[in-house]
Amino acid sequence: MNRPSRIRIGRPLAWACLILAVVISLFPLYWMLRTAITPGRELAGDNAGLLPRHPTLLNFERVLGLTTREEARAAGGSGADLDFFRYLGNSILYTGLVTAVQTLLCAMAGYAFARLRFPGRDLLFGMFVAALMVPPIFTLLPNFVLVKELGWLDTVPGLVAPSLLMTPFAVFFLRQFFLGVPRDVEQAALIDGAGKGLIFWRVVLPMSRGPLLTLALTTAVWTWNDYLWPLLVAPGEETRVLTAALGIFLKQSPNTAPDWTGLMAGSVLSIIPVLLLVVFFGRRLVDSIQFSGMKG
């Protein structure tokens, strides 16, 4: 006797929820791109279709400095200046320094907390974990006063100082991974005459490529999107990063209405380096996780 087939709605419902979540997550990016290719004079009245009636790349040309002020204003722009490539270079320098140095030093600190024995180790690590509960906004003013007293305002050292050395989460994250590294591998290296430093550089770090890449990617994305701290300590042209420059670009609009098309064009261009970084290292991250034995 054939039993009537049951209608299972669990899987279709899960897929529907997943698709809805993806659409909600990607919609702001779509709208940002749509606004960026909309002519400035048509922005207020052209918001019904999926694409603008007269798409244009002129807003990107304005942001990149490929048009004159008169041409920008004729197209509905504000005529505000944005030295895009200088600010892009500052952002790359800021992100690269913080990501490289912080990842390396946090790996060293995490390994020390996981493997080395020294007086006060557990107390010190407890203080690191407790620092996770301190909102970053609480340390903003003390860091600013310290950078100002050191005379580092509007300099690269002042820009990278608060986050260059390490962060509590990064140390905690890598320490937990190093605790799971088999001690037999390190003991074999000790028998061969290797010291703790050589074991860290030649044995442990190659086995930790997955966590290190994960930490480096999250640090790079967070640093690239940082806005408030660079705005406070690096307002000058020579050290201004791209996120702060876009905010200033919007406020410099001499028109009555903000230059939303120019701002969205600049925002689209600003996320391209991060997307390239994720795409380039995404596959390497998966391979590294499989190599390091983190795959479930």
pLDDT in tens, 182-208: 888 888 888 888 888 888 998 899 888
DSSP per position, 179-218: HTS-HHHHHHHHHTT--HHHHIIIIIHHHTHHHHHHHHHH
Gyration radius of the chain's alpha carbons? 25
Q: Which residue type does 233 have?
A: V
> In the prediction, which pLDDT does 295 show?
42
- Look over the chain and give the mean of its residue pLDDT values, rounded to a whole number: 85
Name the token pair of 283.
Answer: 């596959």
CA distance 166 to 233: 19
Name the token pair of 232.
Answer: 């406070």
- The larger pLDDT score, comparing residue 266 to residue 136, is at 266
Q: What percent of the chain has pLDDT over 90?
A: 39
**What CATH number matches the domain at 84-252, 3.40.50.300, 1.10.3720.10, 3.40.640.10, 3.40.50.620?**
1.10.3720.10
Given a cut of 80, whether residue 222 has pLDDT beyond it is: yes
pLDDT in tens, 18-40: 999 999 999 999 999 999 998 87
Confidence of residue 9 (pLDDT cuts 50, 70, 90): confident
- The larger pLDDT score, comparing residue 234 to residue 72, is at 234
Query: Residue 130, class by beta-carbon neighbours within 10 Å (0-12 exposed, 13-18 middle, 19+ buried)?
Result: exposed
Q: What is the mean pLDDT of residues 48-58?
A: 82
Residues whose CB is less than 8 angstroms from the CB of residue 292 and which lie 6 or more positions away in sequence, other chains included: 207, 208, 209, 210, 211
> In the prediction, which pLDDT does 294 show?
45
> In the prediction, which pLDDT does 266 show?
92
- The larger pLDDT score, comparing residue 106 to residue 289, is at 106
> In the prediction, which pLDDT does 40 show?
78
> In the prediction, which pLDDT does 77 show?
66
- Residue 6, sorted as left (phi over 0), alpha (psi -120 to 50) or beta, turns out to be beta
**CATH 1.10.3720.10 residue ranges for the chain:** 84-252
CA distance 57 to 38: 8
Residues whose CB is less than 8 angstroms from the CB of residue 125 and which lie 6 or more positions away in sequence, other chains included: 113, 175
Given a cut of 60, whether residue 274 has pLDDT beyond it is: yes
Given a cut of 60, whether residue 90 has pLDDT beyond it is: yes
